[in-house]
């Protein structure tokens, strides 16, 4: 009896163990079956990302796509992402210039730079970006596809109107023509203001600075055009050696050679006896210079001043203020300053005087440099004289130069248009041959391609014609200015 009961217990325990194993196996199967579903569910709620390499800039374009199964949102394909980057198609010059350069630009045979992408490479790039068109699509969809497609090949077009800005600045709007002070008038008057202050007694290469300045002035006078007037004014020639006080020296500035054609012997005679002794009243000397030029208004005269000084003002004047007043007066003088062996502080003040007087500052350390500095003045005057005689020719030459630049810009646009359209058309044909787009889509894109070609060609030709007309108008206007300024010269020629 006991044995029978034990057997029943063992059988019961075995059955329970078998049942437990079966139940456990079923549970694991259920878990394994449900796990993939949970992963799929998570994937549906995640955003997928597509990374495409931009061959032009060698960087990756990261395009995000929302899952079609995401609650409450629509799917966004690569076409939509690209449309976000591509603006509306341009319709005029300003929009063409502003249109962004596409990632496949720069692969044309005329304007591209090595290494160039092959057509098959560009076609593969387009496939990575844009969806295929195998079924018939409505016009709105095809229009979007085209807008994204043509953006990929867009070249960067320069603004050809910059030529007109250059013309205005460099040629027809040059200072020499717009500023009346730089018009070559019937008469040139040059006033040399010479520093004879005590510091000019210092020696450079065995000669006093004043002696060097005298020699340089004589050379300057001999190189002036025969019909130019020259005057010589001095300061610092009155001082301790002549029994004058500082106050008296600061009020001493005399014109020792009145305006007249240069006579080297006469100038040498009046400056030969000068010796360095006094102070440096530059401001007062410029005030007196205004009186010297009174008979020579800027309307009919080109009035130049050259100050040769070895230092800054020492008489409490404000020469920069006086220089500005003189330059802006009806005398319209141009004040140039030559600093002769001057320290840094003195150079700064003398440079301020030149800038205020609308002229140039030149630093000279020895006799050779001083003569060279004054020689530049002679050369400038001669250039103005030559300008008077040949300005119409020069302006015509500049006009022709700018017209050639306009032709060059037109050709540059021609090359860019050709490269863009060729790449665009070749890849489009490649996509059609590979059945990536169907016949109707291909025909639609070709029509749009031709529309772009016609638009760009029309804009190019219209802009070129406008440039040429404006260049010609500016040239004629400038000739009229020259004729007014130099009517007497042209009457003689005619």
Q: Which helix (H) or strand (E) holds 301?
A: strand 301-309
CA–CA gap between residue 353 and residue 338 (Å, rounded): 11
Q: Spell out where 108-262 has E strands.
A: 187-195, 203-204, 207-208, 229-235, 253-261
Q: In terms of CATH, what superfamily is 182-365?
A: von Willebrand factor, type A domain (3.40.50.410)
% of the chain surpassing 90 pLDDT:
45
pLDDT (0 to 100) of residue 71: 32
Q: What is the mean pLDDT of each run of 10 residues along the chain (494 residues)?
A: 45 47 43 40 40 44 39 52 79 94 94 91 94 94 94 93 55 41 70 92 89 87 84 91 84 94 90 91 95 91 91 92 94 89 88 90 83 71 60 75 88 95 96 96 96 96 92 82 53 40
- Predicted confidence at residue 415, as pLDDT, reads 96
Task: Name 113's Cβ contacts closer than 8 Å, sequence gap at least 6.
Answer: 106
- Residues 361-393: tens digit of each pLDDT: 888 878 788 878 777 766 666 665 665 556 667
Residue 236 DSSP one-character state: S
How is residue 155 annotated by DSSP?
P
Rg of the chain over CA atoms, in angstroms?
Answer: 43
In terms of DSSP bridges, do strands 187-195 and 301-309 run parallel, antiparallel, or are they unpaired? parallel
Contact predicate 282/317, CB 8 Å: yes
Asked whether 337 and 307 are in contact (CB, 8 A), the reply is yes
Residue 399 has a pLDDT of 82
Q: What's residue 109's pLDDT?
A: 93
The pLDDT of residue 184 is 58
Q: Write down the pLDDT at residue 417.
A: 96
Residue 375 CB-half CA count within 13 A? 10
Is the bond preceding 115 in cis, omega lying within 30 degrees of 0? yes
Q: Which residue in this structure is represented by tokens 């569910």?
A: 41
Task: Give all strands of the β-sheet with 229-235 in edge-to-edge order.
Answer: 253-261, 229-235, 187-195, 301-309, 334-340, 358-364
pLDDT in the model for residue 56 = 42
Q: What does the pLDDT read at residue 134?
A: 93
In whole angstroms, what is the distance from residue 131 CA to residue 430 CA? Answer: 15
SS3 257: strand
Domain boundaries, the chain: 43-157+391-494, 182-365
pTM reported for the whole predicted model = 0.45
With tokens 């020629």, the residue in question is 493
Burial of 259 (0-12, 13-18, 19+ CB in 10 A): buried
């Amino acid at each position: 009896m006991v044995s029978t009961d034990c057997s029943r217990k063992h059988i019961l325990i075995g059955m329970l163990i078998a049942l437990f194993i079966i139940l456990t196996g079923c549970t694991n199967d259920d878990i394994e079956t449900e796990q993939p579903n949970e992963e799929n569910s998570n994937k549906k709620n995640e955003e997928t990302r597509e990374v495409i390499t931009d061959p032009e800039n060698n960087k990756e374009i990261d395009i995000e796509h929302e899952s079609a199964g995401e609650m409450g949102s629509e799917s966004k394909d690569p076409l939509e992402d690209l449309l976000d980057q591509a603006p509306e198609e341009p319709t005029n010059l300003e929009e063409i210039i502003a249109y962004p350069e596409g990632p496949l630009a720069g692969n044309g045979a005329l304007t591209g730079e090595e290494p160039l992408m092959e057509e098959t490479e560009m076609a593969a790039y387009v496939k990575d970006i844009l969806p295929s068109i195998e079924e018939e699509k409505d016009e709105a969809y095809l229009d979007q596809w085209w807008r994204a497609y043509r953006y990929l090949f867009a070249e960067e077009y320069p603004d050809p109107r910059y030529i007109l800005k250059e013309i205005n600045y460099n040629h027809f709007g040059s200072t020499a023509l717009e500023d009346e002070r730089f018009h070559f008038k019937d008469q040139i008057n040059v006033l040399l203001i010479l520093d004879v202050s005590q510091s000019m007694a210092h020696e450079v290469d065995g000669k006093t600075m004043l002696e060097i300045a005298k020699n340089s002035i004589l050379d300057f006078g001999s190189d002036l055009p025969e019909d130019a007037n020259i005057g010589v004014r001095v300061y610092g020639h009155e001082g301790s050696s002549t029994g004058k006080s500082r106050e008296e020296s600061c009020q001493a500035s005399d014109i020792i050679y009145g305006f007249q054609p240069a006579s080297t012997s006469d100038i040498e005679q009046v400056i030969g006896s000068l010796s360095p002794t006094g102070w440096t009243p530059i401001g007062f000397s410029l005030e007196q210079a205004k009186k010297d030029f009174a008979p020579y208004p800027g309307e009919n005269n080109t009035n130049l001043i050259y100050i040769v000084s070895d230092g800054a003002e020492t008489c409490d004047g404000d020469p920069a203020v006086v220089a500005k007043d003189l330059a802006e007066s009806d005398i319209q003088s141009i004040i140039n300053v030559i600093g002769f062996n001057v320290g840094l502080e003195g150079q700064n003040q003398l440079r301020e005087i030149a800038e205020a007087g609308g002229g140039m500052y030149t630093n000279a350390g020895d006799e050779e440099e001083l003569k060279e500095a004054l020689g530049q003045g002679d050369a400038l005057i001669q250039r103005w004289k030559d300008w008077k005689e040949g300005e119409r020719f020069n302006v015509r030459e500049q006009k022709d130069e700018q017209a050639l630049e306009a032709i060059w810009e037109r050709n540059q646009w021609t090359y860019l248009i050709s490269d863009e359209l060729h790449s665009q058309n070749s890849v489009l044909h490649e996509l059609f041959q590979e059945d990536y787009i169907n016949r109707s889509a291909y025909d639609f894109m070709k029509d749009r391609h031709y529309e772009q070609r016609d638009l760009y060609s029309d804009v190019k030709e219209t802009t070129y014609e406008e440039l040429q007309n404006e260049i010609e108008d500016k040239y004629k206007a400038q000739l009229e200015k020259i004729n007014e300024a130099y009517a007497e010269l042209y009457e003689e020629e005619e």
